Amino acid sequence: MRSFAPGYELIAPRSLAEALERLHSEPGVWRPLAGGTDLMVLFEAGKLAHRKYLGIWNLAELRGIEVHPEFVDLGALTTYTEVRRSRLLQEEFPLLGRAAAETGGIATQNRGTLGGNIVNASPAADSPPALLVYDARLELLSAAGSRWVDYAAFHTGYKRMDLRAGELLGRIRLPRDKQGWRHYYRKVGPRKAQAISIVCFAGAAQAAGGRVFQARVALGSVAPTPIRCRRTETALRERPAEAAAALQAEISPIDDIRASAVYRRRLAGRLLEEFRSAMML
């Protein structure tokens, strides 16, 4: 049954400073609302438990793609459509472009944001594996200032994050250090479009002559959080024959309505094989 709209409160701060002050002065009372592509699904189903929201969609301080010599900063409100339209992102961070293209339909891509995808904290989200591969860092803002954290350490458990009371995700920073690497992205779902992933695999490697010198591997839908598979990366560099076993030791899939844990394990192994083959071309 759909939620009762008058039972909810939505206010729209005029500036980032006003939004941060509201979060600081009333801790735990207000939650940020950006594109709303996930929250509105819960609202329509009558399952949106929290009642007070800060509408941050119009905050210019959280928008924009800034290019620097050593990194690119993406505002937390960067949409999937903006990712797809950025030539630089498509050229230097193609996995992020692939993830954006795989996320929902056109309406979702126009409205959904990278920041929202991150703090929604779904282990099946499409962009987190790509962000993990690209060694993303997150700027967390509060009325007291800002701090940066490695995205690989941000998710601490299912729907749990290193996000303190009063903090808001401001920017996503991507180091420009993967030029010349080969990139691989594969999302497998129950259908080809607008589906939640059964397994999502993102990888990049610096390889030549049949040898991997550097590698990044990250998966979604195989653990309580999106995961960076560091032991698998080490095996690809140093002990390629052990890479498959390393991957299986790092993932912990579950049975759910979309697939069984056994199927997810087999699929993750198959995607690793595809990734390795693609890196050796």
The predicted pLDDT at position 130 comes to 98
The alpha carbon torsion through 32, 33, 34, 35 (nearest 10 deg) reads 160
pLDDT in tens, 113-156: 999 999 999 999 999 999 999 999 999 999 999 999 999 999 99
Tell me the average pLDDT across 153-176.
Answer: 97
* Position 75 pLDDT exceeds 80: yes
* Position 40 pLDDT exceeds 70: yes
Using pLDDT thresholds of 50, 70 and 90, give the confidence band for residue 42: confident
pLDDT in tens, 239-253: 999 999 999 999 999
Residues in CB range of 100: below 8 A, 6 or more apart: 80, 81, 83, 84, 109, 126, 127
Q: Of 46-60, 148-162, 217-231, 258-272, which range is least confident?
A: 46-60
Q: Which residue has the higher pLDDT, 43 or 109?
A: 109
The DSSP code sequence of 16-70 is HHHHHHHHHHSTTT-EEESS-TTHHHHHHTT-----EEEE-TT-GGG--EEE-SS
The predicted pLDDT at position 247 comes to 98
CA distance 16 to 83: 22
The predicted pLDDT at position 228 comes to 98
* Position 61 pLDDT exceeds 90: yes
The predicted pLDDT at position 193 comes to 65
Q: Of 42-51, 63-72, 103-112, 131-140, which range is least confident?
A: 42-51
Using pLDDT thresholds of 50, 70 and 90, give the confidence band for residue 192: low
The predicted pLDDT at position 281 comes to 62
Provide, rounded to the nearest whole percent, the portion of the chain with pLDDT above 90. Answer: 83
* Position 1 pLDDT exceeds 70: no
The predicted pLDDT at position 49 comes to 84
* Position 19 pLDDT exceeds 70: yes
List the domains of the chain with CATH numbers: 5-55 (3.30.43), 60-175 (3.30.465.10), 182-279 (3.30.390.50)
* Position 65 pLDDT exceeds 90: yes
Residue 195, exposed/middle/buried by CB under 10 A (0-12, 13-18, 19+)? Answer: middle
Q: Which residue has the higher pLDDT, 176 or 189?
A: 176
* pTM of the predicted structure, to 2 decimals: 0.95
No. of helices (H) and no. of strands (E), the chain: 11, 14
* Position 194 pLDDT exceeds 80: no
Mean pLDDT of the chain: 94
Residue with tokens 């390889």: 207
